[in-house]
Chains A and B, each alone.
Chain A
Amino acid sequence: ETVLTQSPATLSLSAGERATLSCRASQSVRSGYLAWYQQRPGQAPRLLMYATFSRATGIPDRFSGSGTGTDFTLTINRVEPEDSAMYYCQHYAKSPLLTFGGGTRVEI
């Protein structure tokens, strides 16, 4: 099983700054199998990025994904107060099908 470790645990920023969130895998993963979700307080997770680089429907281009091998990054440019949320990375594999990281809390 691939373990995903996210850092930092909490990221505090001011509006307009750039957020850089890290997701490190315990073994090399295919870029096509790495996704990111946003979960605002009291809400269900929302898919942000899939296959590392692809934005999900309706996601603004302030959000971008990058990475390869074991190190992946979610970047949020020009953060806004509505970006305050937990962010989870997720890996897709044969078994278990989905694994999630522990999350990063972003505070604006």
Chain B
Amino acid sequence: QITLRESGPPLVKPTQTLTLTCTFSGFSLSTTGVGVGWIRQPPGQALEWLALIYWDDDKRYSPSLKNRLTITKDTSRNQVVLTMTNMDPVDTATYYCAHRSPIVDTAMADWGQGALVTVSS
């Protein structure tokens, strides 16, 4: 059974850096073709893809947010970390991490429950 769980601060101040951790089980990020990505959803709005890291440490970022995002992995701890700098109230959203499998390689097959992050002073 594949599970993912997001963790991080529920509240950050404007200009601060957000650090979110995705802890997963049921798969390994050392397996060829596997990836873990981050997607966010502002309240009442649609989904927005942010970043994805592959088993071989290849990293992809949303072009519009690339300068603010960093994604890293710790394969031994089954964790992926996303940092987003210079947070703004418009970044208030539920942040999801999700699993990209080698079989379903053009979509995200498994999702965490999400972590709501509010940006406010």
Size class of the B contact interface (CB-based, 8 Å): 20 to 34
Nearest chain A CB to B109 CB, angstrom units: 5
B47 partner residues in chain A, CB cutoff 8 A:
37, 45, 88, 90, 100
Q: Are B112 and A44 in contact (CB under 8 A)?
A: yes
Interface residues in B47-69 (C-beta closer than 8 Å to A) = 47-49, 52, 60, 62-63
Complexed CA–CA distance, A56 and B52 (Å): 21
State the interface size on chain A (CB cutoff 8 A).
26
- Structural contact, A44 and B111, CB atoms closer than 8 A: yes
| Complex alpha-carbon distance, A90 and B111, angstroms | 15
Report the bound CA distance from A26 to B109 in whole Å: 25
Cβ–Cβ contact B104 & A47, under 8 A: yes
Partner of A45, one of B52, B96, B104, B106: B96
Distance to closest chain A CB from B94 (angstroms): 9
Report whether B106 and A50 are in contact in the complex, using a CB–CB cutoff of 8 Å: yes
24 A–B contacts, CB within 8 A, in A order: A33-B106, A35-B106, A44-B96, A44-B114, A45-B39, A45-B96, A45-B108, A45-B111, A46-B111, A47-B104, A47-B109, A50-B106, A50-B107, A50-B109, A51-B106, A90-B47, A92-B106, A97-B49, A97-B60, A98-B37, A98-B52, A100-B46, A102-B46, A103-B46
Q: Which residues of A does B touch, CB under 8 Å?
A: 1, 32-33, 35, 37, 43-47, 50-51, 56-57, 88, 90, 92, 95-103
| Further contacts, 17 of them, CB under 8 A, given A45-B39, A46-B111, A98-B39 | A35-B107, A37-B47, A43-B113, A45-B96, A47-B110, A50-B106, A51-B106, A88-B47, A90-B47, A92-B107, A95-B63, A97-B52, A98-B37, A98-B49, A99-B49, A100-B46, A102-B46
